[in-house]
Amino acid sequence: MDHHLPSLNSCIHHHNRKAFILSLIARCLWLTSWITLLLYQIVCGVEGIGDGKLIPVYVIVLSVLAVIIMTPWAVVLCAFTLFHLWLGSKNYTTIEFCEKRNAVDTKRYEKSGIKVRLQCNAQQYNSTRILNVCQLLFEMLNTND
Per residue in 4-63, pLDDT (tens digit) is 777 667 777 777 888 888 988 999 999 999 999 888 888 877 766 556 667 777 888 888
Residue 95 CA to residue 17 CA, distance in Å, equals: 14
75 half-sphere exposure, CB direction, 13 A CA radius = 5
Residues in Cβ contact with 99 at an 8 Å cutoff, skipping those fewer than 6 apart: none
The candidate with the shortest Cα–Cα distance to 75, out of 20, 22, 31, is 31
Sequence spans of domains, the chain: 4-112, 113-145
- What pLDDT is recorded for position 100? 78
Please check whether residue 46 is in contact with residue 38, taking contact to mean a CB–CB distance below 8 angstroms.
Answer: no
Whole-model pTM?
0.61
Question: Does position 117 have pLDDT exceeding 50, yes or no?
Answer: no
Task: Tell me the per-residue pLDDT of 76-112, one tens digit each, with 9 for 90 and over.
Answer: 999 999 998 988 888 887 878 877 776 766 666 565 5
- What pLDDT is recorded for position 116? 47
Strand (E) positions, the chain? 4-5, 10-11
Residue 130 CA to residue 119 CA, distance in Å, equals: 16
